Structure 1
Amino acid sequence: MNTSKLKSGGLTMMLFMLVLGAHAHALWIHTASNSEIGKTHPYKIYYADYQENAIEPVAKWYSDVKEFELWLISPSGKKTKLEPTATETYFQGSFTPEEEGEYRMQISHTADPGESKTAYQFNAYAQIWVGKGKASTQPVSDLALVRNAKSSDLQVLYKGEALPEGELAILGPDAETQELKTSKKGKVKVDLDGKGTYFAEATHTEKLPENDPSGLKAIWRCATQAIEIE
């Protein structure tokens, strides 16, 4: 028996599991779903795997994920770059709504893959409603997860189009997980009746052509929403 091959194979498997575990993490925006004009609205951003109850310290975030950009889109379409500050375990900041309607916070960051043949793109969203104004514009990112304010529907969009048969996982306040598939219109109805935080995460992997100029074989994308139900 060639023990060196066994050791090499075991080490390769361990490294694979560590990498896979690291990329189960995602960016999440934590903030209340409702606000008021003129009232300071705080938020926090975590890099976490809530399925495993794991929140990563900022110093250990994967690759260059901590260099994300956070944008706020107002009901009238005004786009503002927010500048959160880092703490030991999360980034934090606030904004003050000036209009009635739906505000959207969004992140879309593709991490530097280094020597990996797979790139990891992290998209995070939060929707905040102020009064009864109009909905925000459609998000601009490769993979988006948006919520309908008038129902419990969630929709997954891929490059601006509805993603049918998209994969969606939802962790509820009761710690129960739902593994769901979107409809032909990219939608799925979710039970949000219980109070607490629902962690919704959509994922999609794009396989690239052989000999792609990027040198990559695939792009793994996730889109998240942490939905606060009061």
Structure 2
Amino acid sequence: MKKQFIIFSIMLLASIQSFAHYMWVETNTIGTVGKPQQVKVFFGEYTYGEIEETNGDAFKSVQQFTLWAIDADGTKTELKTTAKDNYYLAEFTPKNNGTYTIVLDNNNIDVIDYTKYNFGIFKTHYHAIAKVQVGKKDNHTAAVNPNGITVKDVSEKENTVKLQVMFKNKALAKNEVKVYVADLWTKTLTTDENGFVSFDLPWDNKYIVETTYKEETPGNYNNKEYEFIWHCVAYTIL
């Protein structure tokens, strides 16, 4: 009986882990006017070293995403992507100085039934951002997800990150935020009453910030009923 329970627990963890994937974007944090800038889109679990192949079923289920570069004035440029082995590749060329925000959005994902795991029937909405600094004029990143969750980088001090978490353009208070680094290192924080959270960058490494929100609103997508929407946003800091 004990052995069966352990096997079931492992299978349950694997199933929940596959659902807990997120999408994230990576790009050089420093850009130059007139110089092409590459952007990569990944799907998986960075801290576990799990990155899905673009031709696999997992990545194919989330491939209907949109990708944008937004400059400091709010001008949006949609980016076309090309599938590589385990990421999608895009490119844009900054035209002026300031902070660019790379924004991925994916609200086109089929309904998942996880009632057998006591999680329910839900629809997923993925969002992801990254920051590119062009020149010395540093601005806040853009927050452009009126139908879901996002984070806005409002940092003012070097090596200290300050973010504001928002849901449908309103500050999200008392929401759990996870900071991931490689080798399973994770730090869990909670936003304050105005949706802000801060943390230091002790290592020269890649950080991925992830926060989620369960919207208790039932609906229908592609002729399938769902009980709630699971929102997830990832912010990459290189």
Which residue of 2 is the match for residue 89 of structure 1?
86
> How many percent identity over aligned positions?
26
Residue aligned with 1:190, SS: strand
The residue correspondences of 1:1-230 to structure 2 (distance < 5 A) are: 17-60=13-56, 61-62=58-59, 64-114=61-111, 116=113, 117-133=121-137, 134-141=139-146, 142-151=148-157, 152-172=161-181, 175-208=184-217, 212=219, 215-228=225-238
Counterpart amino acid of residue 44 in structure 2: A
Normalised by the length of structure 2, the TM-score is 0.82
Partner Cα distance (1:190, 1:182) in 2:
11
Alignment check: 8 A CA contact 1:63 1:112 kept: no
On the 8 A contact 2:52/2:59 being kept in 1, the answer is no
Once residues 195 and 67 of structure 1 are traced to their aligned partners in structure 2, the CA distance between those partners, rounded to angstroms, is 33
Shift in CA distance, 195/10, structure 1 to aligned 2, threshold 3 Å: closer
- 1:131 corresponds to which letter in structure 2? G
How many matched pairs?
219
1:88-118 deviation line (CA, Å, top 9, x unaligned): 2111122110111111111121243246320
- Tell me how large the CA RMSD over aligned residues is: 2.6
TM-score by length of 1: 0.85
Give the whole-Å Cα distance in 2 for the aligned partners of 1:16 and 1:64: 21
CA contact (8 A) 1:173 1:194 kept: no
Q: CA deviation at 1:138?
A: 3.2
Q: Deviations over 1:109-157 (max 9, x none)?
A: 1243246320011101011111133445432341102222423202211
Aligned to 2:106, the other structure's residue is in SS state: strand
Unaligned runs of 5+ in 2: 114-120
Q: 1:180 to 1:22 in 2, by over 3 A?
A: same
The whole-number CA distance in structure 1 between the counterparts of 2:149 and 2:183 is 27
Gap change, CA 1:176 and 1:136, over 3 Å in 2: closer
